[in-house]
Amino acid sequence: MGRGRVLLALLPLLGLACPGAPWELGAGWQCSFSASCECDFRPDLPGLECDLALNLVGQHLVRQLVVKGVREFVLSHAPVKPLVMSFHGWTGTGKTYVSSLLIRYLFRAGLRSPYVHQFSPVVHFPHAEHIEQYKNDLKNWIHGNLTRCGRSLFLFDEMDKMHPGLIDVIIPFLGPSWVVYGTNYRKAIFIFISNAGGEQINQITLDLWRIRKDREEIILQDLEASILEAVFENPRNGFWKSGIIEQHLIDLLVPFLPLKQHHVKQCVANELASQGLQAQPDVIQAVSESIPYFPEEEKVFSSTGCKMVASRIPFFL
Ligand SMILES: Nc1ncnc2c1ncn2[C@@H]1O[C@H](COP(=O)(O)OP(=O)(O)OP(=O)(O)O)[C@@H](O)[C@H]1O
Ligand SMILES: *[C@@H]1O[C@H](CO)[C@@H](O)[C@H](O)[C@H]1NC(C)=O
Ligand SMILES: [Mg+2]
């Protein structure tokens, strides 16, 4: 752990907040490290790193992988391929939360940026019988949006609900060779989110807990193969037999670990703070105890991660 990291880890204890985004301090220097400020793209890497260190609970792997991967990609003048990330994990472990943070620190207008595109199967692709139409639409949207700006971000949430076969139409945009009409499609970012692989992540984390291996010692290699197998072999998700997996187009496979009770307590404290409320220990305790844990006997991990925290708090104030 370097000195910078130690400091970052201490920030929450010291009650400090992250510095504002650099473009709020004045224009100019933020674009100097690379020609990356196209369209609305204004990457604030220190801000991202700080916010993750302060607010993301219990996900050491996620923090390491995302910070390193995004940093390398953003600082590269000529990326060899688009950045493709896939988030996997149980419900309420922070997948959507981290994707929102990323978008906020990469694009000036954040989620409202015209260069950030979110796709949700139930909204954009609801009917299985229209899959051919959806394939056409999706390909045209990605192509159209990338022609407008290469620095675009595409977020596919709920990949579990995506019809198998549909996502493969974007394969040409994910590889290294896609430069057409002078548009550099290699500058784009794709994020996939799914619960697929979550059961495997939970089981492996539980097995390691049972042999008393420190949770913070878990590395990607402990989980990677099981996650990939789970998503590739399961016909009930969008990556079933997908060429995206087969052709190794995912650069960053990001596993979200199941959260323990002390993580839930941190989420309660964060939520209270964000509502401007006092961090009362009895409230934090009561909320964290009101949430279900698994497995049945040992009750180690939260069944809903931190998802129920915000809605439970009012009952205990
Ligand atoms: N690891 C975490 N650190 C801090 N807060 C978290 C974490 N996980 C979840 N939360 C809190 O819980 C809320 C719900 O989490 P989020 O929506 O990111 O879960 P998810 O992993 O996307 O779940 P699902 O698979 O059900 O979509 C977040 O808005 C955030 O406030
Ligand atoms: C960009 O994608 C959106 C969907 O997010 C779509 O509605 C729009 O038509 C696309 N734009 C272009 C220029 O293709
Ligand atoms: Mg989510």
Ligand 1 atom with least separation from CA of 194: 25
For ligand 2, atom 13, name the residue with the nearest CA. 144
The CATH number of 33-256 is: 3.40.50.12190
Q: Residue 26: which pLDDT band, with cuts at 50, 70 and 90?
A: very low
Kindly state if the Cβ of 42 falls inside 6 Å of ligand 1.
no
Residue 61: name the closest of 262, 197, 255, 305 by CA: 255
Nearest CA to ligand 2 atom 12: 144
Cβ 242 vs Cβ 196: under 8 Å: no
CA distance 192 to 252: 10
Residue 74 has pLDDT above 60, yes or no: yes
Tens of pLDDT, residues 267-295? 999 999 999 999 999 999 999 999 999 99
User: Minimal CA–CA distance to 43: which of 19, 75, 15?
Assistant: 75
Question: What digits encode the pLDDT tens for the residues 113-156?
Answer: 999 999 999 999 999 899 999 999 999 999 999 989 889 999 99
CA distances from 253 to 89, 133, 138, 184, 193 (A): 11, 29, 23, 24, 10
Q: Indicate the pTM of the whole model.
A: 0.91
pLDDT for 247: 92
CA–centroid distance, residue 77 to ligand 2 (Å): 26
Closest among 160, 161, 142 to 152, alpha carbons compared: 142
User: 220's torsion region: left (phi>0), alpha (psi -120 to 50) or beta?
Assistant: alpha
DSSP code at position 258? P
- What is the dihedral sign for C-alpha 30, 31, 34, 40? positive
Q: Please tell me the predicted confidence (pLDDT) of residue 132.
A: 94
Residue ranges per domain, the chain?
33-256, 261-316
Residue showing tokens 């992250």: 18
